Every structure is written in structure tokens, then in C-alpha cells.
Amino acid sequence: MNFVFISPGFPASYWNFCDRLKQRGVNVLGIGDTPYDELSENVKASLNEYYRVSSMEDYDQMVRAMGYFTHKYGKIDWLESNNEYWLEQDAKLREDFNITTGMKPAQIANVRRKSSMKAFYEKAGVPVARYHMVDRYEDAIAFAESVGYPVFVKPDGGMGAEDSYKIKDVEAMNWFFSVKQPGVEYIMEEFITGDIWSYDGISDSNGDIIFETCVSWPRSVADIVNNKGHLAYYTANMMPEDLAEKGRATIKSFGVKSRFFHLEFFRLVEAKEGLGEVGDIVALEVNMRPAGGWTPDMYNYANSVDVYSIWADMVVYDKTYVDLTQQKYFAAYAGRRYGKPYIHTPEEIRERWGSKIVLDEEIPEMLSGAMGNHMWTAKLDTEEEKNEFIAFVQDTF
């Protein structure tokens, strides 16, 4: 089997996907823009060959790289990046090189555009917020008045929480129209007050789930980005039954096959007319890749598994041989930002939490907007311990 992995050196942990494939006898071929000598030894060892392009944004260069691999190794069986940014390009390369596994361009709009996602959530029986595609100022005002302020606006095809805003009144609407980017399609939705939970996992070629887990997120990552706040989230040690039910139905609705997924939902903390009562689940958005940053490693710590092996098993065997019955934990992430007056020093954090700390890392600048500048992740037994850990890391004077 010939597998082309796009950008094997970023994010930093993604070499693990390549490594597990190679362990299973797959011929793993990497394409990236990092010079070979600057790749980590882990990345180098996980690949059979690496082709460096000067820009991964240059499609002609990507085609030449694929042509080289095809000429040297024969037909390419798989191509994947597991990265939201490259989903559209991945799909185009699959189509152009007749790769029959993975999503094609016709499917991408359904999983990239917030407006297109809603029909699939509704098909799965999950309520969705009312929305308006931003065009004229007068129409945006009329929509906000019809659903009531605040409203939330973000790029329809955007990634993460960048360029996303909670609009509380007409004055804020005026400000948004003065700063919104030309040429960007924005979606405006009625505001939902709820806790955010994600249903994450891996599906097989029939769209059946072979691994599932859940993550609890802060209510507004956009506020964290815009206000330079603290990010804290955790992979839970249990799966709420209603979240699993809605998540599985949503995967079937989207026809998600042979890939990682990350589906986001609100759990209402206030009743919302037309959507549900307190505690009900409402759609947010879908992402057809693992959650960002170090979250795949948090899946591992919380579930006592190796998701990289589960994913590689899916690719090679269409099932997994990983034992999914191991003890479960809370894997809690707490980020810090430079310049804030923290109560506890890094040394005190390490001394207090000791071997329970599983990640203690500086964060690359391109991820720091949401995640902070330094992260601490711990594997913990109880919810009380999880809450104490986050407070210990992030409390300031």
C-alpha cells in the first residue's frame, strides 16, 4: 500500500500517524515544505521517502510531487493530512490522481461550510440555530432583530475561532461591518448559551464507529482569542449517552467513512425557543479531522489507548486491534500566556502535580492565538482533581 501523508512534520505529533502506518508495512511517503534536514528524527524515521516543496499552497508543486511518487512507486492508494487547512487540496489531489479512498471535492463543501452542515445535522435529528448569510447591512439588522441580540458571526468556510464575533447590539453590528474582510462569506447565527462538547473518533469504510471519545470545551474560544484569555479543556473519562447517540447519527448523516472526525455540539444551559430545554443537545459544527493541538494525545491519556494505532488499523485492516476496554481518566489541558501574573511558578506546578503531568510544552506561535504560549496537560482520576489542576495552573494575582 502506498500512502501519501501531507505535512508529516506539522502539527508536531503527526509523525505518529506515519509511524504507525509504517509499522504495519505501509509505504509511507511524505510531502511538506520543511527542508529535510530540519525535520525531526521522528518524522524522518516514520517515512519511506520525503518530497520537499517550497510552498504547499502551490498546487502545481504538489502535483509534481505526486507525479514523482506515482512514477517511482506506482498507484497511490491513500492520501491524507488529517488537517483542516488542507482538506480541499487533499480532495483535489485524490480526484486528480484517481485515489478512491477519502473525500472528493464534491463532498468538501458539506463539511467545510457552516451553512451546508446544518441540513446534515437536521437529517440526524439534531436541532440547528437559525442563520443568515451576511450580505446587506439592512438584512443583517433585520435578522438580528428577528432572533434577538446577541448574534454570533463567523466566516462560513473558516477554521477555528479567528474572525468570529459575538454581536450584542446595533453599535457592535456597525463595528463588524466596518472591519469585516472583503471577499469573505460570513454566516450570522442566533446566539446559543451552552456548554460545548465534542464527539470525536474514527469511522471505518462503512461509516461505523471503531473508536469514540468526548471532549469538553470552553463556551467561547472566540472570546479567548479576541481577549487573549486562558484556554482550558479536557477529555472526559465517560461518554454521555445522549452525546453518543447524536454523534453516531450525525456521522451516518454526513456519510463519514474511513477517517478521523471531530463533531461539536452545544449542551444548553438556558432553554432556547425552537431548539430545546436546559441540558438538550444542539448542533454547532463538524470537522473531519482530529481536534487541534495536542488533543489526539489527550484522547490517548484519557482512554489508555493509542489513537494513532487505531487510525492506522482502520487504514490497513478497516477495524482496530487496539484494546478499547482500558481504564479511563480525565486528560486536562491548561494554557498560559506570557506576561500574566500567575500565582504558581512552573517549578511549583511540576512539584505539585509530579508524574500526573504528561505534557509540558511551549506552543508554536501560529497556534498561540487560542492555545496560549505554554501548555500543561495532566492525567487525573476525578473531576475535582481536574478542576483543581486547571485552577492551580491558571490562577493569577
The CA distance from 167 to 175, in Å, is: 9
Q: Which DSSP category does 125 fall into?
A: T
Confidence at residue 392, expressed as pLDDT on a 0 to 100 scale: 98
Cell of 8: 508529516
Confidence at residue 192, expressed as pLDDT on a 0 to 100 scale: 94
What is the phi/psi pair of residue 181, to 5°? -75, 130
Confidence at residue 226, expressed as pLDDT on a 0 to 100 scale: 77
Cell of 143: 435578522
Report how far apart, in Å, the C-alpha atoms of 14 and of each of 11, 51, 83, 113, 391 are.
6, 17, 10, 25, 30
Q: What is the pTM of this model?
A: 0.92
The answer to whether 292 and 269 have CB atoms below 8 angstroms apart is no
Q: How many helices (H) and strands (E) does the chain have?
A: 15, 16
Confidence at residue 161, expressed as pLDDT on a 0 to 100 scale: 67
The answer to whether 265 and 196 have CB atoms below 8 angstroms apart is yes
Which amino acid, residue 115? S
Confidence at residue 160, expressed as pLDDT on a 0 to 100 scale: 66
Look up cell 498507484; give the residue. Answer: 75
The answer to whether 30 and 8 have CB atoms below 8 angstroms apart is yes
- Regions of the chain short of the pLDDT cut 50: none
Q: 246: burial class by Cβ within 10 Å (0-12, 13-18, 19+)?
A: buried
Across the chain, the runs of DSSP E, i.e. the strands, are 2-6, 27-32, 49-52, 78-80, 131-133, 151-155, 165-167, 186-190, 194-203, 209-217, 232-235, 260-268, 281-287, 330-336, 357-362, 374-380
| Residues forming a β-bridge with 272 | 276
Cell of 368: 498561540
Residues of the chain with pLDDT > 70: what percent?
99
Confidence at residue 81, expressed as pLDDT on a 0 to 100 scale: 97
pLDDT in tens, 257-269: 999 999 999 999 9
Q: What does the angle CA 199 – CA 205 – CA 210 come to, to the nearest 5 degrees? A: 40
pLDDT in tens, 304-356: 999 999 999 999 999 999 999 999 999 999 999 999 999 999 999 999 999 99
